[in-house]
Structure 1
Amino acid sequence: MNALHVTHDEVDLTLVVESVCDAADGVKAITLRRLDGADLPQWSPGAHTDMTVGGLVRQYSLCGDPADSARWRIAVLREVDGRGGSAAIHGTVRAGDILAARGPRNNFALTSAPAYVFIAGGIGITPLLPMVAAVHTAGAQWRLVMGGRTRASMAFVDELTSTYGDRVDVRPHDETGLLPLDTILADAPDGAAIYCCGPEPLLRAVENHCAAMPSLRLHVERFAPKQDPHAGDNEEFEVELESSGQVLTVGADTSVLEVLESAGVPVLSSCREGTCGTCETEVVEGVVDHRDSLLTEEERAENDVMFVCVSRAACPRLVLAL
């Protein structure tokens, strides 16, 4: 894998909620520390953690200070049409509560570049917060453009503008309309890294713009799976486990992860929709039909890893490093 994927050793954690506060309308900022008082695992900008609340496991970006080994901060948007995780956090989590977590994991790592443009839509500001702090401290050229429904719904606006001034461009939709992506990206220097996180329409629009601008290096993170044009177009194939030579059959209506679990092969997993990166597995031989929402086209071409919860084979047999 290339440098985009930076994973520290993941650990299971028991965390206590130190504080809960409103970061914006419909957004809760939650500060956590270890129950035993020990240091938290090291993490880097772009990392996230798996949190278990009400029996549901969800992924949340770490948006505090990586240098603070005592505390993690996450921010959670209450999603009216979500799957229950955000409602559980907004409705039940209070200071003093004990939560289970795992991590950190980083599928959205900050890379070296001559300049940076950060584009945030709504709660998509969370993974970008520590990135902005890191490049600012390093003296790099950067700008941040924030979009959202209203100014009141946009988390951490005051924190960002008070710290960085006019390098933060706040554009609520009800005041300024859609983000002017043509202008934002046209003004980016050659070789600039574009980091974008937010709702799917914004991500697709930025991807479409950047496709015509090869001098820019685009990095996106999705909170929901990208629409798969091949969904349902499945064929049976085989998976061979390198360590034992065992061969398993993956049916058209099952995933590699489900087959591995049925065979008693230990594989960590979480989201089961190709967004969190937990089930990343090394590919020894074969061609992968990548269906995740994580890898870039360049990373897919390397064909050395797959996310077994959603990706399949584009050949009769895959050999996995299991």
Structure 2
Amino acid sequence: MELIVRDRRDEADGVVSLTLADPDGHDLPVWTAGAHVDVTVDDGVVRQYSLSSDPADRTVWRLGVLREPAGRGGSEFVCTKLDVGDLVEVSTPRNHFELVPAGRYLFVAGGIGITPVLAMIARARATGAEWSLVYGGRTRSSMAFLDELGVYGDRVTVVPQDEQGLLPLADVLGGVAPGTLVYACGPEPMLAAVEAHVVDRAALHLERFTPKIVEGEGPDEAFEVEFATSGLTATVPAESSILAVAEELGLPVDFSCREGTCGSCETPILAGRAEHRDSVLESEEQAENTCLMICVSRAERGCARLRLEL
């Protein structure tokens, strides 16, 4: 769908927020805290950005975008070319970082990882849940939405690295009360540290902006894939991916990042077992073996054939 940029603000050094709305004033689709959208930024290039506004407000969606001059060009386009009044192609929201209902939450954010957490705070407040946030960044000037968070007082702990060092995760996570759900979003080193300090793994929910490193048990092997809906069967070579083979066959596949972080290419598994290499599904979801991300995941070793709903 095509949305119009209603507002554009510099939220911090290198961070811009865009507020999007329907050009005709219609309500936007329903979404839930933790969701992101695909934005077509330039020449058909698609990038994913988390929604940071209040899910209860159907009139606008807000994105927070970190400008990365050394990146692949998406943030550079958003931060330097899009302005108020411009039209932009945006997908319906997709959520792989759902806020599970609970009575108490601890949010941990690093850098631009604050964006989905803002929507989660709005939802937690609406349900009357207890919550607190620990928010880290390189410098105070690089940390977006601090004024917005300032109204919450001591519920929010701000930790600029140049002033206070790294987030004190051992202290923060070591004192988590039973029943608290922990939601963390930020750079990979922070997420790895959060994982190392959380005792109750079932309480931990992460969202990654870059793919986690998945160590294989040996060299990749070829395997067969039956695309059940299309009635086609093909071999996926060791050096290729299911997505690449599907593209070669002309199958209608949704994809964007090609690195297992956006969830666009999620595909149901009808038979066989997958070796999951994505950064989207939680370990319990991977163990259920009901779907996989075809851009990075493969057949499990010893499984010669996958049957997929594609």
Question: Which TM-score applies when normalising by structure 2?
Answer: 0.95
- Residue 244 of structure 1, CA deviation: 5.1
**Residue 143 of structure 2: aligned partner:** 154
- Residue 233 of structure 1, CA deviation: 2.9
Question: What is the distance in 2 between the residues matched to 1:81 and 1:250?
Answer: 33
- Residue 15 of structure 1, CA deviation: 1.1
**Residue 227 of structure 2: aligned partner:** 241
Structure 2, unmatched stretches of 5+, are: none
> Does the 8 Å contact 1:191/1:216 carry over to 2?
no
Choose from 156, 166, 169 the match for 1:168. 156
Query: Given residue 74 of structure 2, which amino acid in structure 1 is its aligned partner?
Result: G
Question: What is the distance in 1 between the residues matched to 2:146 and 2:128?
Answer: 21
Matches within 5 A, 1:113-132: 113-132=102-121
Secondary structure at the aligned position of 2:17 is classed as strand
Query: Given residue 53 of structure 1, which amino acid in structure 2 is its aligned partner?
Result: V
Choose from 223, 236, 239 the match for 1:250. 236
- Residue 215 of structure 1, CA deviation: 6.5
Choose from 175, 178, 187 the match for 1:199. 187
> Does the 8 Å contact 1:193/1:217 carry over to 2?
yes
CA deviation map 1:124-168 (0-9, x unaligned): 000000111111222212110000011111111110111x11101
- Residue 242 of structure 1, CA deviation: 2.4
Matches within 5 A, 1:275-290: 275-290=261-276
Choose from 80, 84, 87 the match for 2:76. 87
Secondary structure at the aligned position of 1:74 is classed as strand
Query: Given residue 290 of structure 1, which amino acid in structure 2 is its aligned partner?
Result: H
**Residue 297 of structure 2: aligned partner:** 311
How many residue pairs are counted as aligned between the two chains? 307
Structure 1, unmatched stretches of 5+, are: 1-12
**Residue 8 of structure 2: aligned partner:** 20
> Does the 8 Å contact 2:54/2:123 carry over to 1?
no
Structure 1 residue 47 corresponds to structure 2 residue 28: no
> Does the 8 Å contact 1:194/1:216 carry over to 2?
no
Question: What is the distance in 1 between the residues matched to 2:206 and 2:16?
Answer: 23
Question: What is the distance in 2 between the residues matched to 1:67 and 1:111?
Answer: 16
Query: Given residue 264 of structure 1, which amino acid in structure 2 is its aligned partner?
Result: G
Range 132-141 or range 236-245, more displaced: 236-245
CA deviation map 1:49-84 (0-9, x unaligned): 000112221100000111221211001011132111
> Does the 8 Å contact 1:190/1:215 carry over to 2?
no
Question: Which TM-score applies when normalising by structure 1?
Answer: 0.92
